Amino acid sequence: MKPEPFIPEPLPPSDIDWISHIPLIGAANAALARFDGLLQSIQNPDLLLTPLITQEAVISSRIEGT
């Protein structure tokens, strides 16, 4: 017997309580704005970004199993 393929629900989910997420979205937006301001105020922002990009690549490789 052939297994049935997994078909996820359509996005976005219809049951999201957007009102409860608004404060979280606002806080995340403010944090990103502060980070962006920090990056613009230093001479070489790649010094901060390169380790994060490398870490993300390592984690992605672990997820993919390579």
Q: What is the pTM of this model?
A: 0.49
CA distance 31 to 27: 6
- 38-54 pLDDT, tens digit per residue, is 878 888 878 878 888 99
Dihedral over Cα of 22, 23, 26, 32: its sign: negative
Give 3-state DSSP helix, strand, coil % of the chain, rounded to 5: 65, 0, 35
pLDDT at residue 66, rounded to an integer: 59
> Is 49 in contact with 55 (CB distance < 8 Å)?
no
Q: 38, 56, 34: which is closest to 48 by C-alpha?
A: 38
